[in-house]
Structure 1
Amino acid sequence: MIKPRTKTPDLTIDLVDGKTWTLSEQDPEHFTMIIVYRGKHCPVCKTYLKTLEKHMQDFKDKGVSVIAISANTKELATASVKEWDIPNVPVGYNFSIEEARTWGLFISEGIKDEPKVFVEPGLYLIRPDRTLYASSIQTMPFARPSLEDLLKSLDFVIDKDYPARGEA
């Protein structure tokens, strides 16, 4: 588990658009938001990332840089972007199980049509100095933070310079 106010691991991941994304190279005004999704097999992820697509400009306007990542292959991640119609969401792929564990994420063994193993969802808000501000980690596809609620909360957090909590 990564505690708030502590440095996060660096992360480099390939994006479906052919670019490479590195956390330590991000320079957002307020936060980098990393959303870890289960993969193309997950209908809840589809809904969540379609909601993210709808609010990408809202996050940008609040000084938040966004990326969505999964353990999916390039082919599956590319198909997700196309089929889910999320062209404005930067999507990374091949997030390794080992690296996911360093971020404190849960790993599941697949059932039915799921991959053999995959990473369960997580959301991280990271300050420009790469310290963790907030995280939400799930063991299931549901119970994720509402992106609309998060947008509203960011107004308060930024306006009041509200500190990260949970560090004790």
Structure 2
Amino acid sequence: MIKPRTETPDLSINLVNGTTWTLSEQHPEHFTMLVVYRGKHCPVCKTYLETIQKHIEDFKSKGVNVIAISSDTKEIAEATYNDWAIDDVPLGYNFSIDEARSWGLFISKGIKDEPDTFIEPGLFLIRPDRTLYAESIQSMPFARPEIKAILGSIDFVVNKEYPARGEA
């Protein structure tokens, strides 16, 4: 786990649109919201990312850059992008298991129609200086932060200059 108020690892990941996204090159007004999803096999992830899509303009208007990444291959990520209603959500692929562990994320062994191994969900709010503001890490597909609650919290955090917590 990464402690709040400490620098996150840098991250560079390929996107389905043919570009490369690098965390250290992001310059949001307030936050980068890094969403790690389990992969195309996960119906809960589909709903979650489609909810983010519905609010993507709200995030932008609040000074938050959003990206969603998984350990899926390029081909599977492209199919995800084409099959899910997430046209404006930058979608990254090939997030390595080792790199995910450096972010404190859980790794699962696949069952039934899942990949052999994959990364469980996480959400990170990262300040423009790459320090961690908040994180939510799950070992299961459910119990994720509600998107509308995050949007409301961002207003509070910014307006009250509320500091990151959990650093002690």
What are the ranges of 5 or more consecutive residues in structure 1 without an aligned counterpart? none
Q: Which residue in the other structure is 2:147 paired with?
A: 147
The whole-number CA distance in structure 2 between the counterparts of 1:109 and 1:31 is 32
| Alignment coverage as a number of residue pairs | 168
Q: Which residue in the other structure is 2:108 paired with?
A: 108
What are the ranges of 5 or more consecutive residues in structure 2 without an aligned counterpart? none
- State the Cα distance separating 1:111 from its structure 2 match: 0.1
Map 1:1-168 → 2, pairs under 5 A: 1-168=1-168
- State the Cα distance separating 1:85 from its structure 2 match: 1.9
The whole-number CA distance in structure 2 between the counterparts of 1:85 and 1:148 is 18
The whole-number CA distance in structure 1 between the counterparts of 2:121 and 2:83 is 20
Point out 4+ residue stretches in structure 1 off by more than 4 angstroms.
Answer: none
Q: Give secondary structure in 1 for the equivalent of 2:99.
A: helix
Compute the TM-score of the two structures, normalised by the length of structure 1.
0.99
Compute the TM-score of the two structures, normalised by the length of structure 2.
0.99
The whole-number CA distance in structure 1 between the counterparts of 2:48 and 2:41 is 13
The whole-number CA distance in structure 1 between the counterparts of 2:80 and 2:160 is 37
Q: Which segment is superposed worse, 88-97 or 74-83?
A: 74-83
The whole-number CA distance in structure 1 between the counterparts of 2:66 and 2:59 is 8
Q: CA RMSD in A?
A: 0.4
Q: In structure 2, what residue type is equivalent to 1:82?
A: N
- State the Cα distance separating 1:143 from its structure 2 match: 0.1
